[in-house]
Amino acid sequence: MNHALFRYGLAMATTLLTFAVDIGGPPSAAASAPGSTPSLPRPTGTHPVGTTSLHLTDDSRPDPWASGVSARELMVSLWYPTASPNGRRAQYMTPTESELLLKEGGITGVPLDVLSRTRTNAFADARPAGPSCGLPLVVLSPGFTKPRTTLTALAEDLASHGYIVAAIDHTYESVATTFPDGRVTTCTASEVTHDEEFWKRLVTGRAADVSFVLDELTGAHAPWDGAPLLDPSRIAMVGHSVGGASTVTSMLADSRVRAGIDIDGTTHVPIPDSGQSRPFLFLGRQAQYSPGSGGAAATWERDWQRLTGWKRWLVVAGAEHATFTDVGLLAEQFGIDMGADLPAARASEIIRRYTRAFLDLHLRHRPQRLLDKPSEQYPQVKFCTPGTSTCV
């Protein structure tokens, strides 16, 4: 992951958004009008989706970023199938989280609470539904500084297809995390020098967060009434950016994570020489992660040799870092050019479809032709063969 490039791209995008609003109109006919309510794409599955949030505290370890804090507190969002949609759509994020995220990008020309009014598809606190011990679990980890909510479109889609999804806000690594008592923590980790040791510390800490969340959700006294629906033998992890890098680290640290996807994230902790045999998918930008291109791709090439089980290396032509998440989706609705040749809505469709294919194959053992060879339906997705430096 090229962190500097991403932050530059986001700053350029937010500048364009401010400009579009200041002149009183969007830069293209396809863009939303200033003040309109952005929305997320509809899930493609048959199940209505419920969502809730959990406040979890790990008393066994101090917070890695807050000096003097003796316990690690986390906020986790859950999405899941429901048979009882209650009509109350969940809030995308709080007004304070919206304000801090927009201010981070330098946006001053739109209402600061606009992201708290983003339309989601999940019903707040709806009752979970499904067979006992019958639903696979997918853990999501967002990019550095980004709230867990920026992976909502992916989470809602997976839940509509019968998955339980748990997205973790890694406290002090997000621009804003709101706790039930009204406290809002910010990104203290941004103040630390971002050398290689920092990134190793970060992904190692995220692996500990993931293991703790799994302990809570699969334990005898789980803090969520839908926990009995979860199948603890079918758990996978998907992450974006440093969250993708953390997927590798989490699989090395916790054998309960049976399969993993790294979406556009440079890996920081190498897979050991002994290898890693569980299924793994690399999915990234063609411009950044094509084999033989050096830089970030070199870390994937290093780890590819040590993946001894099912594996794929896919790149998406025309995508940019942010277009794999809700950041790209929401920016696109304001007519913002994120620097990608591929529209964010199409990138989101690709991410959702290939993620679900991977999970259906490895957690449900359903054959997926989509993962066998290039698809005419998704010509932007290239299958790479490391060592030959070819992607077709």
Q: Give the closest residue to 363 by CA, choosing from 93, 138, 154.
A: 138
Q: Does residue 18 or residue 361 have the better pLDDT?
A: 361
Side chain identity at residue 31, one-letter code: A
At 237 the pLDDT is 98
Side chain identity at residue 70, one-letter code: S
Structure pTM? Answer: 0.91
Assess contact for 141 and 237: CB atoms under 8 A.
yes
pLDDT at 129 over 90: yes
Looking at the structure of the chain, the number of domains it has is 1
pLDDT digits (tens, 9 = 90+) for 369-391: 999 999 999 999 999 999 887 89
Where are the strands (E) in 322-387, listed by range?
381-385
CA distance 285 to 37: 29
Strands 49-58, 72-81: pairing is antiparallel
CA distance 335 to 343: 11
At 138 the pLDDT is 98
- State mean pLDDT over 103-130: 89
At 14 the pLDDT is 39
Q: Which residue has the tokens 């290093």?
A: 302
At 108 the pLDDT is 62
pLDDT digits (tens, 9 = 90+) for 246-260: 999 999 999 999 999
Summary mean pLDDT of the chain: 90
CA distance 369 to 367: 6
Reported as a pLDDT band with limits 50, 70 and 90, residue 266 is: very high
pLDDT at 241 over 50: yes
Residue 63, domain CATH: 3.40.50.1820
Q: Which residue has the tokens 């050096």?
A: 294
pLDDT digits (tens, 9 = 90+) for 288-347: 999 999 999 999 999 999 999 999 999 999 999 999 999 999 888 877 777 899 999 999
Range of the domain at 326: 3-391
- State mean pLDDT over 159-179: 98
At 335 the pLDDT is 72
pLDDT digits (tens, 9 = 90+) for 162-171: 999 999 999 9
